[in-house]
Amino acid sequence: MYISHSDTYVREFCVSILSKLAASCRITCLIFKIDLFNPIFSTIKTTNNLTLLESTLELLYILTNAPAALSILPDMTNFEMSIIMTLLDSPEKKISDIAFEIVRKLTYLGLEVFQKMFRTEKLVEKMFDVIMNAGKLEYHQKALNIILNSIKCEETSSYFIKSLEFLKFCQWVKTCDQDYLLPCVTIFEKLSKMPPIKQMLFDLSVEDSILYFLRSMDKDVLNMTCEAISNMSTHKYCCERMVTPTVLKELMQILRGDPENKFALKTIYDLTRRNLNTLDMICTIEAQDVLLNYFKNGVNMLPEESF
């Protein structure tokens, strides 16, 4: 009846029943056998009835809990990721909410076939736009989660760093609300682990962004920033340019306030062993007392490598 009935109200009623039944694995298997996916996508693409669209999207979301569904979805004739992407911008909140949840779930699973589709649709760039749009505040956290999910997948981990949206994001983080700092610096920290893009990442205004993070009062943000700097320091080009009085002053300021901060200590250690100018610059900014205090107060707190 859902597939063939001409009465929209009957189809609404049928899809609501199917959504409830789809929680059962046995029923889900039956749904696959009767090829319900193509009618689902056909409805999503063509219906003008918002209630039917919402119910059909809910059914699709529930069905994606089944591993079998994920394996056959890409082969469905009517399946188009672009349709789901379009619904992210739906003026109807309930519709866009479900679309975001479907995308979030698929990126969390990280399957290659879907990530390639998301790359084609420029999903990560769209999520950066969402985050920077104050009018889409309710979707900011979901967009951040989708980006972090995407970075974990090879197909979508870094393709976007040359995009205009990412460049804007690098500037946006310097003026964003404090609540965004931790998820944003987490994005930079994840990217800083990828050797092929480190130099490009550094050149795309990331240095300024990292300096902004270092001025945060949030310990988790500072620790994550220190990890990002350590990651970047493995690249000679980046390390040479990160050893500046400004960066070292910020790192030393962290240690003045929190002498046991192992993240800042390790960052100083990494910069020192990878760039011989580091110790000279520490003396130039008159911060050697921070390191000497460890010997005065005891070095038991220090990791062996930092000592």
Q: Which residue has the tokens 């110790």?
A: 279
Are residue 107 and residue 233 in the same domain, yes or no?
no
The per-residue pLDDT for range 99-150, each reduced to its tens digit, is 999 999 999 999 999 999 999 999 999 999 999 999 999 999 999 999 999 9
Are residue 215 and residue 177 in the same domain, yes or no?
yes
Residue after which a domain boundary falls, among 133, 160, 187: 160
The helix or strand, by DSSP H or E, that contains position 164, with its residue range, turns out to be helix 164-172
Extended beta strands in the chain, E state:
none
The per-residue pLDDT for range 67-95, each reduced to its tens digit, is 777 888 888 878 899 999 999 999 999 99
Are residue 173 and residue 156 in the same domain, yes or no?
no
Residue after which a domain boundary falls, among 131, 160, 189: 160
257-to-181, 185, 211, 254 alpha-carbon distances in Å: 20, 21, 17, 5
Which structure tokens are listed for 87?
């619904």
pTM (2 d.p.): 0.87
Are residue 136 and residue 201 in the same domain, yes or no?
no
Residue after which a domain boundary falls, among 45, 72, 99: 72
The per-residue pLDDT for range 182-236, each reduced to its tens digit, is 999 999 999 999 999 998 888 876 667 877 898 888 999 999 999 999 999 999 9
DSSP character for 77?
A: T
CA 226 to chain centre: 19
Are residue 145 and residue 244 in the same domain, yes or no?
no
For residue 18, give its domain range.
1-72
Cα-based torsion angle of the residue sequence 188, 123, 104, 50 in order, rounded to the nearest 10 degrees: 150
Are residue 155 and residue 176 in the same domain, yes or no?
no
